[in-house]
Amino acid sequence: MKTAVYYNNYDIRIEERPTPEIKDGELLVKVKASGICGTDLMEWYRIKKAPRVLGHEMAGEIVESRSDKFSVGQRVFVSHHVPCNECKYCLAGNHTACETLHKGNYDPGGFSEFVRVPEINVEGGTYVLPKNVSYEEGTMIEPLACVVRAQRIIGVSEGQTVLVMGSGISGLLNIQAARLKNARVIATDITEYRLNKAREFGADEVYNANEELGIKADRIIMCTGAMPAFEAAFRYIDRKGIIMLFAIPNKNLPIPVEDFWRNELSVVSSYGAAPVDLEESLELIKDRKVNVKDMITDRVKLEDIQKGFKIAGEAKDSLKVIVVP
């Protein structure tokens, strides 16, 4: 089978590998669509484990099953990370801190023609797609689930002012999720295209990030890795406010300690999603409460994945790039 092997952001090679063989309890899934995530573009992070096959936003069709739960022909979304549900983190509801979740994955990755789904992922991370959810929409289940979890952590609720800094795909998902909770949503970006998209997807107010904003937000959700945005966040956060590091920069953050102390600020992060978040995400997409279909702007074949990384990395007039093997 064909695989796209990542060496760095500018060197992704199409290589032949044997189609994986499955064991009892496992599935073989033919990949129908796999999204390029913003974290796939974080070369400083990804290159540590290169060469490898990336791709964790994957939907496809079961072509071989050795599981009693699923059958050949079913359309599924498969989560790459699955918690053990037994450790102290899982038992406390902190599933994304679970060591099993951090170590697990499917084989070899979504940027390939087929993936082997290990038994633990079959049991706790495989979801049948409803008839009204396409494969492409299925790739958005995991990104939206990450948003669901992040906003639960910081308690986004009605009446709050929520500032979303960065209006790429994660920003737009956060905008929609916050609007569902009847929060007042303000969005920033540096490009007119994405500011227009922020309006389109429900932001109450939008501003160019290069301008100084005269606002105070109860919650700030960082959806950009740009250092100037992080520095600005401490000027825009209200007392007792929370800054969510949904995206991270490639170096440590300077924190204004006096403001942090006197105004009782909190800075928190969120990594990944747990099964409960994935289930909620799937329902939101199925019920059309969150529009993910119109966020998918570009599609490339597996052989053209390097082009897809270029489009996603340049972040011009595009939002979500999907690889369609």
**Do the domain assignments include residue 65?**
yes
Total structural domains within the chain: 2
Judge if 129 and 152 occupy the same domain: no
- pLDDT digit string, tens, across residues 129-156: 999 999 999 999 999 999 999 999 999 9
Judge if 118 and 16 occupy the same domain: yes
pLDDT over threshold 90, residue 44 = no
Judge if 68 and 195 occupy the same domain: no
CATH number at residue 302: 3.90.180.10
Judge if 154 and 51 occupy the same domain: no
pLDDT over threshold 90, residue 6 = yes
Cα 198 to chain centroid distance, Å, stands at 17
CA distances 41 to 15, 22, 212, Å, are: 20, 30, 28
Kind and range of the H or E run holding 297: strand 296-301
- pLDDT digit string, tens, across residues 51-71: 999 999 999 999 999 999 999
Q: Please give the residue range of the domain that contains residue 17.
A: 2-140+292-324
CA distances 224 to 1, 45, 98, 180, Å, are: 35, 15, 26, 22
Do 138 and 126 contact (CB within 8 A), yes or no?
A: no
Nearest to 58 by CA among 41, 84, 37: 37
Judge if 10 and 60 occupy the same domain: yes
- pLDDT at residue 254 in the model: 86
**This prediction's pTM:** 0.95
Tokens of 145: 């689930």
Judge if 132 and 45 occupy the same domain: yes
In this structure, the number of other CB atoms found within 10 A of the CB of residue 23 comes to 10
**Do the domain assignments include residue 280?**
no
What's the chain's average pLDDT?
96
- pLDDT digit string, tens, across residues 276-305: 999 999 999 999 999 999 999 999 999 999
- pLDDT at residue 316 in the model: 86
Judge if 153 and 251 occupy the same domain: yes
Residues composing the chain: 325
When pLDDT is averaged across residues 95-108 and rounded to a whole number, the result is: 94
Cα dihedral 248→254→258→259 (10° resolution):
-40
**Do the domain assignments include residue 262?**
yes
Confidence of residue 311 (pLDDT cuts 50, 70, 90): very high
